[in-house]
Amino acid sequence: MILSNFELIFDSLIEKQYFTMIQVKNYVLGQWISGEGSETNLYNALTGEKIGDTSSAGLNYQEILTYGREKGGRALRKMTFQERGRMLKALALHLMDKKESYYALSALTGATRIDSWIDIEGGIGNLFANASVRRQFPDLPYYVDGVAAPLSKNGSFIGHHIMVPKQGVAIHINAFNFPIWGMLEKIAVNLMAGVPAIVKPSEFTCFLTELMVKDIIDSKILPEGSLQLVCGLGRGILDHVDSEDVVTFTGSAHTGKMLKAMPQFSERSVPFNLEADSLNATILGQHAVPGTIEFDLFIKETTKEITIKAGQKCTAVRRIIVPDNLLDEVQKAISARLASTKVGDPSMEGVRMGALATMTQVERVRANVNRLAQTQEIVFGNANHVDVTGGDSEKGAFFSPILFVNNDPFKNTDVHEIEAFGPVSTIMPYKTMDDAIELSRMGKGSLVSSIVTPNDQEATEYVVGAASMHGRILVLNKDCAKESTGHGSPMPLLTHGGPGRAGGGEEMGGKRGVLHYMQRTAIQGHPTTITKITQQFQVGAEMPEANPHVFRKHFEELVIGETVFTHKHTVTDADIVNFANVSGDNFYAHMDATSLEGTIFERRVAHGYFVLSKAAGLFVDPKKGPVLLNYGLDEARFTKPVYPGATLGVRFTVKEKIDQEKKTEDDIAKGIVKFLVDVYDETGETVALATILTMVKKIDQTK
C-alpha cells in the first residue's frame, strides 16, 4: 500500500522535475534564485546516488536581511495576533493537504514513514498549536504584559508593560535531521510574534525544506518577505545581523559556539538562541523491576529512542541509567529488541529503521563509536557492518544500532562527553538514586531526561534533584503511558531547550516562545492614556457613562472604558437567608451570628457569591439584544465583608474586546467582550471585583 503510494508520488515528483536532478534554489528578495556554481552535492541516503546540488554562493545577505525587515516585517507588524494566528492555521491546513509529496521526498533522507511523520506532521502540528496560542493574546499587533503598577498616591500616574514585535528578522540556522520540523517549529513562533524569518536548513537535507517552502510561497498565505530560504552553505548569513534581529541555531555545540562568538553578537546585543547536542539520559527507577508494566515500558521506550530516525534526534536517549542489579536483564531485553529491528529501505516490508542522512554522517558516527569503544564495551551491533533489507548496503548511509555497556560510569566518563549522532546508546549501572541523579547531571546539561517508575516518591526525588540540568523531564508510568507523547518529542506548548552543553537556549513553549521575538517596554502615564495604548481599561482611567446601556450595543460599537453606573441595593438578612436556601451554602459566617468569635467577621456576612449575583441583577439589561451569552468569570475577588444594611452599587465597564472569526458560514459573527464588575458600598469602597466574559454579536454579520 505504502509502496504504491510512494510510486505514484515519485512519478508526480518526476513531473515536477524532482528526481531527474534537483537543483535546490534559494527563495530570497521575492524570487527563486540559484546560487553561483555548485557548493554541495545532494544524495539519496538509501542508495548513495547523487540527486542534485545546491549553492548559496553570491547571495547578498545585507539586501536579504533588509528585504525581510522592511517588506515582510512591515506587513506582519500591521496584523494582529488573531490575524497572524488565523494565517498560521490556514497555512497548516494547506500543507496538510500536500503532505504526501513531503513523505515521498523525505524517504530520500533515509527516513521511515514514522520518522517522516515526526518531521512533517509534527512540524505542521506546530503551526496548528501556535495558531491556537492566539487565544492567549489580545486583538492587537502587540501584547500587554502583566498588570499595571500603581506609581502614585492619587492614582493619576501608573506603569505597565507592552511587548512589541522586534523590527528585525529571525534567522534560523537548522540541523540536517529535521528539515521540516526544524523550520516550522521556529517560524510558527516568529510569525506569531510579527517577525519575518530567514531559514537556512542544513545543506544535506535542504531539498525537502525547499519543496515545502515552494508550497508555502505559492499559497500566498504569508505576506511576501515574511519567509526567505537560503539553501547551500549560507556562509556570511550572520555578517549583517543587527540589534533587532534574533538568531536561533540548532546543530552541534562546536558550530554553535563558533557562530555565537562572532563579534557582532556582543557588539550589537543580538540574541542568539543555541540548541546544541545533548547527552540525554533515561533512568529506570528502582521500583520498576522486571514483571512490572514500567519495566516493559522502559525497554520499549528506550529502544524506540535508539532506532527512531536512526538515532538522529537531538532528544534521543544516549545514556541508559539502570539499577546495578538489573543491568544484565536490561541489556538482554534491549538487545533482543534491537536484534528484531530490521534496517534498510523503509519502503520494504517490515523495515523499522532507515539510513542516516548521508555518508558523511556515517563517518562521523563511526568515528565517535570508535572513540567511545576505548572506554566501554559494545554489547550489540557492529560499527563496520549492518545487514540491510533493500537499499544499497555499500553506498547507502546505513548504520547498525550500537549498544554499549559502561560498568564504571563515574570513572570512564567519555560517555558523558561524546555524542555519536546515530543509533548509539550506553547502559550504565547506579546504586542509589543520588548516584542516578549525579550520572544524569554528568551530561553537563541536556534537553531531556526521563524516569520510568511506578513510584511517585522516587519520581519526585529524581525530578527535584536532576531538573536544574535538564530542559524537560518525562515521568513515565503505566497510568500515563497510553497517552504519553514520549521521551523524544518536544511539545509546541512546552519549552524546548536545555542548560549547559545543550546550549542554554529556550524556544517554543507556546506564549513564552512568541515573547522571545518581542521587545518588552515599560510605559508610564495617566490611566486614561495607558488605557488607550493598551486597549485594556486601567483603574483610574476616564469612565464615560454608556448611553445606551452597553447590553444594547453591538461588538463594533462598544468603547473601552465606557461604563454603566447601576441602581443601588441595600442588603438585608432576608437576602442572606434566601441565598443560603437557593444555593444550599449554610456556612456558619452567613447563617450563625453566634459563631463569629475568633473570626474576622463582626456580624453575619453576606455570601460573596450573593454579592456577585446581586451585581448581575443590577448591571444586566434583560431585554434581548446583541449580548449572546456570558461564558465565565475571571479574577473574581471579595475584597471587603458585606453586612446587612450595606448599600451596593456597580460600575460596569468595558475592559477589553477580542475579535473572533466565524467558524462556519452560518455562524453568528461575534466577538468576546470582557467587562470589569466593580461592586462598591455606601462608603464608595470596592467590596468585590470580577471580570466577566461575554460574547457579543457584531453589526456586520459577514465577518
Residue positions annotated with a catalytic role: 275, 314
Crossing angle for the helix pair 206-219 and 99-106, nearest 10 degrees? 170
235 is a contact residue toward ligand NAP (CB under 6 A)? yes
Kindly report whether the peptide bond that precedes residue 622 is cis, defined as omega within 30 degrees of 0: no
Q: For ligand NAP, which residue of 447, 475, 514, 550 counts as binding (CB under 6 A)?
A: 447
461 is a contact residue toward ligand NAP (CB under 6 A)? no
Q: Which stretch binds ligand NAP (CB under 6 A): 111-119, 120-128, 234-242, 548-556?
A: 234-242
CB of 122 or CB of 194, closer to ligand NAP: 122
HSE, CB side, 13 Å, CA atoms: give it for residue 188.
34
376 is a contact residue toward ligand NAP (CB under 6 A)? no
276 is a contact residue toward ligand NAP (CB under 6 A)? yes
429 is a contact residue toward ligand NAP (CB under 6 A)? no
Q: For ligand NAP, which residue of 115, 210, 277, 575 counts as binding (CB under 6 A)?
A: 277
Q: Which stretch binds ligand NAP (CB under 6 A): 24-32, 174-182, 344-352, 508-516?
A: 174-182
409's grid cell: 560510569
H/E element, 298: helix 293-307
Residue that has been written with the C-alpha cell 465577518 in this structure:
703
Q: For ligand NAP, which residue of 67, 272, 421, 551 counts as binding (CB under 6 A)?
A: 421
Q: Which stretch binds ligand NAP (CB under 6 A): 269-277, 301-309, 341-349, 391-399?
A: 269-277
159's grid cell: 506603569
CB of 501 or CB of 607, closer to ligand NAP: 501
Q: In angstroms, what CA-CA distances link 657 with 264, 556, 558, 696?
A: 42, 9, 8, 10
Q: For ligand NAP, which residue of 18, 176, 380, 638 counts as binding (CB under 6 A)?
A: 176
Q: For ligand NAP, which residue of 26, 82, 101, 250 counts as binding (CB under 6 A)?
A: 250
72 is a contact residue toward ligand NAP (CB under 6 A)? no
Residue that has been written with the C-alpha cell 505576506 in this structure:
223
d(CA 469, CA 453): 20
Angle among Cα 188, 190, 191 to the nearest 5 degrees reads 65
According to CB under 6 A, which residues from 319 to 358 bind ligand NAP?
Answer: none
d(CA 222, CA 123): 17
264 is a contact residue toward ligand NAP (CB under 6 A)? no
**Minimum CB–partner distance for residue 28 and ligand NAP (Å):** 15
CB of 212 or CB of 576, closer to ligand NAP: 212
Q: For ligand NAP, which residue of 234, 429, 540, 671 counts as binding (CB under 6 A)?
A: 234
**Minimum CB–partner distance for residue 313 and ligand NAP (Å):** 7
d(CA 455, CA 436): 15
- Nearest alpha-carbon partner for 198 in 213, 208, 211: 213
According to CB under 6 A, which residues from 548 to 607 bind ligand NAP?
Answer: none
**Minimum CB–partner distance for residue 202 and ligand NAP (Å):** 3
Q: For ligand NAP, which residue of 95, 120, 314, 388 counts as binding (CB under 6 A)?
A: 314
DSSP state of 69: I
Q: Positive or negative, the Cα torsion across 435, 439, 442, 448?
A: negative
According to CB under 6 A, which residues from 493 to 532 bind ligand NAP?
Answer: 502
CB of 259 or CB of 593, closer to ligand NAP: 259
275 is a contact residue toward ligand NAP (CB under 6 A)? yes
CB of 82 or CB of 174, closer to ligand NAP: 174
d(CA 679, CA 673): 19
Q: For ligand NAP, which residue of 173, 330, 388, 415 counts as binding (CB under 6 A)?
A: 173
213 is a contact residue toward ligand NAP (CB under 6 A)? no
H/E element, 125: helix 113-132
**Minimum CB–partner distance for residue 513 and ligand NAP (Å):** 13
CB of 247 or CB of 321, closer to ligand NAP: 247
Binding residues with ligand NAP: total (CB under 6 A): 27
Secondary structure (DSSP) of 381-448: -BTTB---BSS-TTTS-----EEEE-S-TTT-GGGGT----SSEEEEEEESSHHHHHHHHHTTSSEEE
d(CA 388, CA 393): 6
Q: Are 327 and 361 in contact (CB under 8 A)?
A: no
CB of 233 or CB of 378, closer to ligand NAP: 233
> H helices within 427-545, ranges in order?
433-441, 456-466, 478-481, 511-515, 527-534
CB of 165 or CB of 445, closer to ligand NAP: 445
> What residue is closest to ligand NAP based on CB?
251
Q: Which residues contact 480 (CB under 8 A, 6 or more apart)?
A: none
Q: Which stretch binds ligand NAP (CB under 6 A): 2-10, 172-180, 191-199, 615-623?
A: 172-180
Q: Which residues contact 586 (CB under 8 A, 6 or more apart)?
A: 580
Q: Are 604 and 643 in contact (CB under 8 A)?
A: yes
66 is a contact residue toward ligand NAP (CB under 6 A)? no
Per-residue b/e over 478-487, b at no fewer than 16 CB within 10 Å?
Answer: eeebeebebb
197 is a contact residue toward ligand NAP (CB under 6 A)? no
Q: For ligand NAP, which residue of 96, 164, 233, 689 counts as binding (CB under 6 A)?
A: 233
CB of 116 or CB of 278, closer to ligand NAP: 278
Q: Which stretch binds ligand NAP (CB under 6 A): 153-161, 251-259, 347-355, 396-404?
A: 251-259
**Minimum CB–partner distance for residue 40 and ligand NAP (Å):** 7
Q: For ligand NAP, which residue of 53, 115, 119, 203 counts as binding (CB under 6 A)?
A: 203
Q: Which residues contact 289 (CB under 8 A, 6 or more apart)?
A: 295, 326
d(CA 670, CA 555): 7
Q: For ligand NAP, which residue of 175, 217, 508, 692 counts as binding (CB under 6 A)?
A: 175
Q: How many CB atoms lie within 10 A of CB 290?
A: 11
**Minimum CB–partner distance for residue 662 and ligand NAP (Å):** 38
255 is a contact residue toward ligand NAP (CB under 6 A)? yes
Where on the chain is the footprint of ligand NAP (CB under 6 A)?
173-177, 200, 202-204, 233-235, 237, 250-252, 255, 259, 275-278, 314, 419, 421, 447, 502
